[in-house]
Each structure stands twice: as structure tokens, then as C-alpha cells.
Amino acid sequence: MNKFVTSYQSIALDIAKRIINNEFIAGDKISGRTLLAGQYEVSPETVRKAVAILKEANVVAVSQGKEIVVLPAEQARHFIEHHKEMASAYSLKQELEILLEKKEETDKLIRKNITQIIRYSDRLKNLAPYNPVEIRILHHSVAVGKSLADIKLWHHTGATIVAIRRSTEIIVSPGPNAVLEEKDRIVVVGPNDVLQKVNDFINKEK
């Protein structure tokens, strides 16, 4: 049973549907509370609450002698339609609450991942303070035609060459006898100002 519908509401809806289906006709007198309680297997108090709802909605009338009199079916239709709208609103509210809970869980996960990314980023900075940079050897460079041993890059700049890119070729960990050519790109690591230092040294004119 839908949580929105209580037992006495279910009985009220059932009676209204029976009126619409002409099981009860306008003017009919429905059996007393005791008999109704037996039909629906609930307490007389539950039936009393169901009848009170129907009376308030003008689906039935209750006489001085506690007789339950059926009113025209139009009010029963209004009562059922109103209940459907209320049930739909309740269902939407439940769905919204579920979506909000999921959103909150997603937001927590996003915040957790962002925190982890920041932590990993900080660790990487601490572990690898020297970021590789790439510098092109220009045609007027003093390094053109010279070996790595000849230019003594680390001595002059504090930078270390870790690779040489030559056209589509990549020379990883070049030895001291590797000779630099025009348009080579050297990949170096070093202090924060390594790019400026190496570029100024390598590409100064002969």
C-alpha cells in the first residue's frame, strides 16, 4: 500500500469507486459501521474516519440516526480525482527527496575527489620540483655542431639534457658525445628559471 494512503483513506476511496461503478446509487443507505467494519476487516473507528472523509467531501451524508446516505456520483468522481492529484504530488515529492539525496552523495564524492587531486598534485610538486622544458636550437646558436660535453650546459645553467628531439626522432638520455644540430629541440630539467637560462645560453650568437 502507498504510504500516502492510510487504511481509512483506502476504505473511503473504495466506497467512492463503488459509488462511481453504480454499486451504490444516490439515495442508497450503506450498512452501518459494524457491518462495514466486518466487510473491510477493520475497527469501527477506522470506518468512522473513512465515512467522515467522505462526508466532508460531500460524497455521502450522515443522518441523525447515523445512517450513511449516498449522494450523487459526481462528488465521488471529484474526490477520487483530488486523491490522484495528491498522490501524484506526494510521489513527486518522494522522487525529489531521493534525487536530492543522490545529489548530496555525488557532491560529497566530487569534493572528495577534488581533495585527493589537490593532495596528489602537491605531492608531485614536492617529488618533482624540476619540470621538463623544451628549447629549440636556432641557426645562430653557439651549440650548433658541438657535443654536449663541449657546451657544458649544466656548468653554465644548472640544467640537465634528458632528451633531444630531431625531426621525428627522439634521442633519450643522450651521451656526452651527442652533437647538436640546427632545429634540434633539447628537453632539459632544472630550477624554475631553467627555460630562460638555457635559452639565453644556447641561443646566443656565435
Digit-coded pLDDT (tens) for 5-58: 458 888 888 889 999 998 888 888 887 665 566 677 788 888 888 888 899 899
Interatomic CA distance for residues 11 and 53, integer angstroms:
10
Euclidean distance between CA atoms 76 and 55, whole angstroms? 11
Assigned fold of 7-83? Arc Repressor Mutant, subunit A (1.10.10)
- Cell representation of residue 174: 643522450
- This prediction's pTM: 0.40
- pLDDT confidence bin for 4, thresholds 50/70/90: very low
CATH number 3.30.70.1450 is the correct assignment for the domain at 133-202: yes
Tens digits of residue pLDDT in 112-135? 776 676 565 555 455 455 567 889
Instruction: Identify the burial level of 164 via C-beta atoms within 10 angstroms of its C-beta, where 0-12 means exposed, 13-18 middle and 19 or more buried.
Output: buried
Cite the beta strand spans of the chain per DSSP E: 29-30, 60-62, 68-70, 133-136, 160-166, 169-172, 185-189
What is the Cα–Cα distance from 50 to 61, expressed in whole angstroms? 12
Q: What are the grid coordinates assigned to 91, written together?
A: 510521489
> Domain spans of the chain?
7-83, 133-202
Examine the pLDDT at 154 and tell me if it is beyond 80: yes
Residue whose C-alpha is closest to residue 36's, from 68, 58, 9, 83 = 68
Asked if 186 and 135 count as a contact pair (C-beta separation under 8 A), the reply is yes
Cell of 54: 467522505
Where are the extended beta strands (E) located within 87-172?
133-136, 160-166, 169-172
* Segment 73-113, tens digit of pLDDT: 888 898 888 887 777 776 777 777 888 888 888 888 877 77
